[in-house]
């Protein structure tokens, strides 16, 4: 299959996290035909495909995922989100940019590279997760990464195919990410009749000043590599549905995206200090989704920038914004981790898409990265 045919085949599979739903069944024969040794590892409710080529030299790993977020209202899409329709030179569908087209582009790049260099002087791995977008309790690739490290199977270079680009494919590289700390707050008041304010404690009224203060806090100033820590509320829920009943509790979901200038411990402490100003009791469940990471070594960066100068005639800028990625699991083992993928303007949106020209360009960039890696190891 061509990169386009493979991308369409993958998009047509409704692989909502944490379920692969058959994407690996499509990908595995493609890699087997190239001589890769493929294994699939089950972890709780998720699965990871790990394919290896060669056994000598440094390990170059392409890291990606086959799962996608839900489509949202299907009627709002210009075409069905799992049809993979081409309209005006653009491939539309959930996962088109994040990140099934990227997976297809790298496999096509592998085919082109191995035709001209059937015995590379470095090892090539392809690692694909089925639960990058989903919840940790369904299983993540961190267990596999630790297992490989225990066997001294370490990744040297990790290219993550996330949608890093802004306006042109390859204009932005990410060499790190901020950390992510989530919280589930239950603010406990006292339920009662609205006509007797002295007998109730309204958590909705109590949360107002808390939110106002949280909005104004400067958590840190960031540093030369990272933006300042930010705080956002994603869900707020309270009430019985009746107009004459003060609710007894309020639930709030929130998230910190934090730079290395703050720790998850310090953010928890400062949050609770603000919370204690309320009259309400509270319960909090914290989830540390990711700690900040940064690739300071420049070997892989130089390889990728060289490839971009050849294909795009200019280097990329470095940006460590955006959400989390599975690169956070690979970085602690000492790997150089860099993200390079499609334009991210439509990821997780209605009518997510990638242009056919961008798919072709990304394939060329990935191929050139492999060529530059070969030259660097000679």
Query: Does residue 132 carry a catalytic annotation?
Result: yes
- 62 touches 159 (CB < 8 A): yes
Spatial neighbors of 346 by CB under 8 A, at least 6 apart, are 96, 97, 352, 353
Which tokens in the block code for residue 185?
């707050």
**First-to-final CA distance of the chain:** 31
Helices (H), 225-350: 264-275, 299-311, 327-330
Q: Burial, 373: exposed, middle or buried (Cβ in 10 Å; 0-12, 13-18, 19+)? A: buried
| Active-site pick, 20, 43, 67, 108 | 67
Backbone angles phi, psi at 190, to 5 degrees: -140, 120
Three-state DSSP at 82 gives: coil
User: What secondary structure letter does DSSP report for 99?
Assistant: I
- 8 touches 84 (CB < 8 A): yes
Three-state DSSP at 328 gives: helix
Q: Report d(CA 245, CA 202) in Å as an integer.
A: 10
Tokens 């491939």 correspond to what residue?
A: 91
Tokens 């989100």 correspond to what residue?
A: 81
| Residue among 113, 91, 109, 126 at smallest CA distance from 10 | 91
Tokens 């420049």 correspond to what residue?
A: 298
| Residue among 134, 68, 136, 129 at smallest CA distance from 349 | 68
- 95 touches 361 (CB < 8 A): no
- For every residue of 120-152, DSSP letters joined together read -SSEEEEEEES-SSS-GGG--THHHHHHHHHTT
Q: Report d(CA 10, CA 15) in Å as an integer.
A: 9
Strand pairing report for 179-188 and 281-290: antiparallel
Give the residue numbers marked as catalytic: 67, 132
């Amino acid at each position: 299959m061509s990169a386009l045919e493979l991308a369409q085949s993958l998009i047509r599979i409704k692989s909502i996290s944490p379920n692969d739903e058959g994407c690996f069944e499509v990908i595995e024969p493609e890699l087997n035909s190239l001589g890769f040794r493929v294994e699939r590892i089950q972890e709780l409710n998720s699965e990871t495909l790990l394919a290896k080529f060669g056994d000598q030299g440094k390990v170059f790993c392409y890291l990606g995922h086959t799962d996608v977020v839900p489509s949202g209202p299907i009627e709002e899409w210009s075409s069905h989100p799992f049809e993979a329709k081409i309209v005006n030179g653009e491939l539309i569908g959930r996962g088109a940019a994040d990140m099934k087209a990227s997976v297809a582009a790298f496999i096509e790049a592998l085919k082109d590279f191995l035709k001209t260099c059937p015995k590379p002087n470095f090892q090539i791995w392809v690692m694909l997760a089925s639960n990058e977008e989903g919840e940790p309790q369904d299983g993540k690739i961190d267990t596999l990464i630790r297992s490989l490290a225990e066997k001294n199977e370490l990744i040297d270079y990790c290219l993550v195919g996330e949608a890093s680009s802004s306006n042109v494919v390859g204009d932005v590289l990410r060499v790190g990410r901020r950390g992510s700390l989530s919280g589930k707050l239950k603010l406990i008041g006292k339920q009662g009749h609205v006509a007797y304010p002295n007998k109730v404690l309204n958590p909705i009224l109590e949360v107002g000043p808390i939110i106002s203060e949280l909005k104004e806090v400067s958590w840190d100033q960031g540093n030369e590599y990272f933006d300042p820590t930010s705080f956002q509320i994603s869900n707020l829920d309270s009430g019985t549905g009746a107009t004459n009943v003060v609710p007894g509790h309020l639930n709030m979901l929130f998230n910190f995206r934090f730079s290395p200038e703050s720790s998850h411990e310090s953010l928890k402490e400062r949050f609770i200090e603000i919370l204690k100003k309320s009259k309400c009791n509270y319960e909090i469940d914290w989830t540390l989704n990711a700690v900040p990471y940064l690739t300071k070594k420049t070997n892989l960066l130089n390889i990728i920038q060289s490839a971009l100068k050849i294909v795009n005639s200019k280097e990329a800028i470095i940006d460590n914004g955006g959400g989390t990625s599975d690169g956070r699991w690979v970085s602690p083992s000492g790997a150089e981790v860099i993200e390079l993928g499609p334009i991210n303007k439509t990821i997780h949106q209605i009518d997510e898409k990638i242009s056919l020209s961008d798919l072709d360009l990304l394939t060329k960039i990935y191929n050139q990265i492999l060529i530059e890696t070969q030259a660097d190891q000679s």
